[in-house]
Chains A and B, each alone.
Chain A
Amino acid sequence: MVTKKNSTIRHFGLLGFAAIMIFPFIFMVSTALKPQAQIFDIPPSLIPSDATFQNFQDLLRIDGFGIYFFNSFFVATITTLGTLAISSSMAYAFARLKFPAKGFLYTLVLAGMMVPPVMLIIPQFLMSKYLGLLNTHLALILVYICMTIPMQTFLLRGFFEDIPRELEEAAVLDGASKVRIFRVVMLPLVKPGLAVVTIFTFLYSWDEFPWANVAVNEESLRTLPIALAFFQSQHLTQWGMVFAGAIFAVVPVVLLFSFFQKYFIAGIASSGLKG
């Protein structure tokens, strides 16, 4: 039972914690509004005296910034859909189906989580070249799906295992095929998990840099993290621009997250155990 007093304490605690969490961001926004000359002022000012939108303007005037943004969005969306489809199927198979070498295959999937992605860049590059995928968005999409499948499968398998077997058995008695059970019974019950997969996969793809740097060098196909890297030249880091760009980069994912939060609650409400 949450009493009024309990609730107030919780709020204080959460607010305090939240302040620490987001303080760096407030600082980031404030820096984005400063001209370079003020960036290293002591004491660091939270509200800049010469607040200017110059950094944002310069950013938008950069050739192709909008294109980078769109490319990132496109690649991230397709990747997320792909990973959702594949990882949920695989997770279900590992959680509920019987087949030979199941343990071995699962270990193989998990191995994917343990491998340092950086180690794979060169062979992935060779493979993409062999398949004629270099300099295409498909190279990014396929590799991103590949790199996210292990963890998302691992995550979803846990969710599938939590579902009581009675539900499935009831459906089997009704004569449903495995595919139908999966689609109609199991998937809706792991909606919170699917929402999590969506957010994490999108985020991974949205922020990924090392692979995007080498797989695609055609200007019109490049992604957002590459654009941000250009603000760090050999000689000077344009902090204001970096953080202004970061704000642009953060907004879509925050929106995505806010949207999917409600899904958690909706998912619980439609839990099949009610009746």
Chain B
Amino acid sequence: MKKNAIACFAVLAFASLALTACSTPNEEVAPTAADVSDEAVEPVTISYWHTMSDAESAQLDSVIAEFETLYPAITVEPTRYAYDDFKTAITTGLAGDIAPDTARMDIAWVPEFADLGALSRVETLVPGFDEISSDVFPGPLSTTYWEDGYYGLPQNTNTQVLMWNKSQFESAGIMSAPVTFDEFAANACQLSKGTDQYGFALGGTYFWAPAPLFYAAGGEVTDPSMTTAKGYVNGSGSVQAFTILKDLYDEGCISPNLLGGGIGTADGHGTGLYSMIIDGPWMVDIYKGSYPDFETNFAPIPAGAGGTSSVVGGENVVAFASSQKSDAVGKWMAYLLSEDAQVSMAQVGMIPTRASLVGDTRLPGYFEVFMEQLETAKARVPHPNWGDMDGAISNAFQRILNGDQLVQISLDQAAQEIDALLK
């Protein structure tokens, strides 16, 4: 019986080897007739890793098809990863010396990977860099800069705006979304009814959640040259923002979900549990899919001492230093920043980074409020240690909400921790 088992195993092992050998992707694509004709151009395949959703991936395929028609010798091979595991995949790829040629990564990761030496500078790599860099929004562009140069291009950007439940507002006698902090705080409490309904909810205490209000209150995390946080993250604007949130929390106007284990903002807003949330353009497609009967309403972030403002998010496309195919990579990155590609991806909810496209009629209608907000939105600190800084602020926020420390003292501690990280 065992000999049989071994024999079976061997046969299967060989069979699987044969099968997998046949399906292993080739490095080079066999030249087609079209290639051979004009120039003697080497056919080349470049890889592109991303975390796009189903709909976005489908649109990406058509963008790739367009690109490949323009450059028949280049084939782009996309690979999709789940968001939570993406950083691990990139890290492992780097460690194993098989990083992709290009990838679309969170803007916050670019300084980190650039600092490690994993990314290539793009000024000379990407044809038309000067034109591109002068046209894209300054906020997003700043997230690609580290130490001595630019290490990526902003592929798509986004920001958060206020989402408000019009019917709940009107039932309470409020006809429009709040415009100032005071109105916002008042509305939040008017719309709260015990545990059945909360006027406002945040997704968590990680910085991205309170950031829009933080920046609208005039808060800053560090000074412009990123040397110190003292006087900034514990400055007056920051204190004001967190104080308002703390007061609302104590009065029961903000859902306690932000401390963990509760109902998320997307589900909560969609089911009418949360009257207001702050979120991004992806919600349109998400609601279409999961809550088709829900009507979405957007409004700018209420204005504080800093006027209206918000936080810049999005993804940058980067080129890895280990790639040998600079020519193809440069062309691919340039194409992703071209008007055609940007407008195409806009159809599935990805906001373009080119300022010249603001108001363009080919863009979906709901983009308008986001692109307007982008004019005042601020980027987070583009530093390799941003992750830990985020943690420091998040922990401070939790201490504030739990009543462990007063707002000012808690932020002072965060300032100290962030200073240590900036060295």
User: Which residues of chain A have a CB within 8 Å of any CB of chain B?
Assistant: 35-37, 39-41, 62, 74, 78, 81-82, 84-85, 88, 121-122, 125-126, 128-129, 134-138, 141, 182-183, 187-188, 210, 213-214, 217-221, 226, 229-230, 232-238
Contact call A85/B266, Cβ cutoff below 8 A: no
Residue in A36, A141, A183 whose beta carbon sits within 8 Å of that of B16 in the complex: A141
Taking CB atoms, residues of chain A closer than 8 Å to B95 are: 122, 125-126
Nearest Cβ on chain A to B402's Cβ, whole angstroms? 25
SS class of chain A's interface: helix, strand, loop or mixed? helix
Per-residue contact bits, chain B 9-36, to A (CB 8 Å; 1 contact, 0 not): 1001100110111011100000000000
Among A40, A62, A135, A229, the most chain B Cβ lie within 10 Å of the Cβ of: A40
Contact call B267/A74, Cβ cutoff below 8 A: no
Taking CB atoms, residues of chain A closer than 8 Å to B270 are: 36-37
Please report the C-alpha to C-alpha distance between residue A37 and residue B264 in the assembled complex, in whole angstroms.
Answer: 13
Taking CB atoms, residues of chain B closer than 8 Å to A40 are: 263, 267-268, 271, 273
Among B82, B266, B280, B286, the most chain A Cβ lie within 10 Å of the Cβ of: B82
Please report the C-alpha to C-alpha distance between residue A136 and residue B22 in the assembled complex, in whole angstroms.
Answer: 10
Please report the C-alpha to C-alpha distance between residue A60 and residue B20 in the assembled complex, in whole angstroms.
Answer: 25
Residue in B17, B25, B89 whose beta carbon sits within 8 Å of that of A218 in the complex: B25
Contact call A214/B290, Cβ cutoff below 8 A: no
A213-B81, A221-B23, A229-B85 given; 19 more Cβ-contact pairs under 8 Å: A36-B291, A37-B293, A40-B268, A40-B271, A78-B9, A78-B13, A81-B12, A82-B13, A129-B98, A137-B20, A138-B17, A214-B88, A217-B81, A221-B20, A229-B82, A230-B82, A235-B286, A236-B264, A237-B264
Q: Does B173 contact A (CB under 8 A)?
A: no
Chain B interface residue count, CB cutoff 8 Å, equals: 52
Taking CB atoms, residues of chain B closer than 8 Å to A128 are: 96
Contact call B290/A85, Cβ cutoff below 8 A: no
Taking CB atoms, residues of chain B closer than 8 Å to A41 are: 271
SS class of chain B's interface: helix, strand, loop or mixed? helix
Residue in A188, A213, A235 whose beta carbon sits within 8 Å of that of B266 in the complex: A235
Please report the C-alpha to C-alpha distance between residue A213 and residue B1 in the assembled complex, in whole angstroms.
Answer: 36
Nearest Cβ on chain A to B102's Cβ, whole angstroms? 14
Nearest Cβ on chain A to B77's Cβ, whole angstroms? 9
Q: Does B131 contact A (CB under 8 A)?
A: no
Contact call B97/A129, Cβ cutoff below 8 A: yes
Count A-B pairs with CB separation below 8 Å: 120
Per-residue contact bits, chain B 373-413, to A (CB 8 Å; 1 contact, 0 not): 00000000000000000000000000000000000000000
Please report the C-alpha to C-alpha distance between residue A187 and residue B6 in the assembled complex, in whole angstroms.
Answer: 14
Contact call B9/A81, Cβ cutoff below 8 A: yes
Taking CB atoms, residues of chain A closer than 8 Å to B21 are: 136
Residue in A37, A126, A136 whose beta carbon sits within 8 Å of that of B290 in the complex: A37
Nearest Cβ on chain B to A32's Cβ, whole angstroms? 15
Contact call B16/A213, Cβ cutoff below 8 A: no
Q: Does B282 contact A (CB under 8 A)?
A: yes
Contact call B267/A183, Cβ cutoff below 8 A: no
Contact call B16/A138, Cβ cutoff below 8 A: yes
Q: Closest 3 CB pairs between A and B?
A: A36-B290, A136-B20, A229-B82
Taking CB atoms, residues of chain A closer than 8 Å to B20 are: 136-138, 221
Please report the C-alpha to C-alpha distance between residue A135 and residue B227 in the assembled complex, in whole angstroms.
Answer: 44
Please report the C-alpha to C-alpha distance between residue A4 and residue B17 in the assembled complex, in whole angstroms.
Answer: 57
Contact call B9/A85, Cβ cutoff below 8 A: yes
Taking CB atoms, residues of chain A closer than 8 Å to B23 are: 136, 218, 220-221
Contact call A214/B5, Cβ cutoff below 8 A: no
Nearest Cβ on chain A to B95's Cβ, whole angstroms? 5
Specify the chain A residue showing the minimal Cβ separation from B15. A78
Taking CB atoms, residues of chain A closer than 8 Å to B280 are: 235
Contact call B53/A233, Cβ cutoff below 8 A: yes
Per-residue contact bits, chain B 90-105, to A (CB 8 Å; 1 contact, 0 not): 0011011110000000
Residue in B83, B88, B268, B290 whose beta carbon sits within 8 Å of that of A234 in the complex: B83
